[in-house]
């Protein structure tokens, strides 16, 4: 027993001498606390950003014209490719990966299987994002991003260009004036002025001068259009006219 203790002490002394020779010092506890705090901060920051991104993602998908998508893009696959928010999808995936890595780097993150981390992360991001979208958070974020990121705004305009097909019965633009006898004057996305006849203008009492709208109908002549259906330029979370689409 005494021999064993002496051998153990000699081994400990050799290890200590070796550490001193190589100038190896213990890492301060505050470093580990700072590392832990950094990854927890990255986790919560990434989670909040991902939830906001998912609310915007849901808003963009729900605000599309799915009932006429195949006619608009001349095929469902083309329509899906045109309206799918790839930028937001990549943004959410990158943040989800960041959240997963951050959890793994915490003191207890190694205990859990990958599947038991990934599924709750995805569920929380999409479910909470869906709730925020319902209360208008996705719409507000979408409007903010379009105003501050030109590339994102260009993608939105590209989606809306599907509505500039008057010869196929689709027309969109800004109302210049509302006249009597169910007639409005519209400026389309190419700055062309149209005279639009509407079957029942009183049914669309929410439209105002300066509002951007989309129409389904028939082209009667050069720059003359007959509209049977009028839709807002962008639907809000609750399916009503988006107040941000008026200038």
Per-residue pLDDT of the chain (247 residues; tens, 9 = 90+): 444 444 555 555 666 666 566 655 566 666 556 666 777 787 888 999 999 999 999 999 998 899 898 999 989 999 999 899 999 999 999 999 989 888 888 777 777 788 888 899 999 999 999 999 999 999 999 999 998 988 888 888 888 889 999 999 999 999 999 887 789 999 998 999 999 998 776 677 678 899 999 999 999 999 999 998 898 887 654 444 444 444 4
How crowded is residue 241: how many other Cβ atoms within 10 Å of its Cβ? Answer: 20
Cα 191 to chain center, whole Å? 29
Residue 54 has which token pair? 């998912």
**Residue of 9, 126, 143, 1 whose CA lies nearest to 63:** 143
Q: Is 192 helix (H, G, I), strand (E, B) or coil?
A: coil
Q: Using CB atoms within 10 A of its CB, is residue 110 exposed (0-12), middle (13-18) or buried (19+)?
A: exposed
Q: Tell me if the pTM is above 0.85.
A: no
The Cα 82–Cα 160 span in angstroms is 9
pLDDT at 244: 43
- Return phi, psi of residue 177, to 5°: -155, 155
C-beta of residue 126 within 8 angstroms of C-beta of residue 151: no
């Amino acid at each position: 027993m005494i021999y064993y203790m002496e051998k153990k002490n000699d081994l400990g002394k050799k290890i200590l001498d070796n550490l001193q020779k190589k100038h190896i010092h213990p890492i301060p506890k505050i470093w580990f606390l700072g590392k832990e705090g950094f990854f927890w901060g990255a986790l919560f920051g990434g989670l909040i950003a991902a939830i906001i991104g998912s609310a915007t993602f849901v808003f963009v998908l729900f605000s599309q014209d799915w009932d006429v998508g195949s006619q608009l893009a001349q095929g469902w696959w083309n329509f899906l490719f045109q309206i799918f928010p790839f930028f937001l999808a990549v943004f959410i995936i990158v943040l989800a990966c960041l959240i997963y890595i951050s959890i793994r780097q915490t003191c207890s993150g190694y205990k859990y299987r990958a599947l038991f981390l990934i599924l709750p992360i995805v569920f929380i991001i999409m479910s909470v994002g869906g709730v925020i979208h319902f209360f208008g958070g996705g719409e507000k974020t979408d409007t903010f991003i379009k105003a501050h990121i030109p590339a994102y705004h260009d993608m939105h305009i590209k989606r809306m260009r599907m509505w500039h097909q008057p010869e196929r019965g689709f027309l969109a633009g800004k109302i210049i004036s509302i006249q009597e006898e169910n007639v409005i004057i519209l400026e389309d996305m190419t700055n062309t002025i149209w005279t639009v006849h509407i079957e029942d203008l009183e049914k669309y009492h929410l439209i105002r001068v300066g509002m951007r709208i989309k129409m389904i109908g028939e082209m009667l002549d050069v720059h003359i259009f007959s509209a049977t259906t009028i839709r807002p330029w962008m639907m809000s979370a609750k399916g009503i006219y988006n107040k941000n689409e008026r200038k």
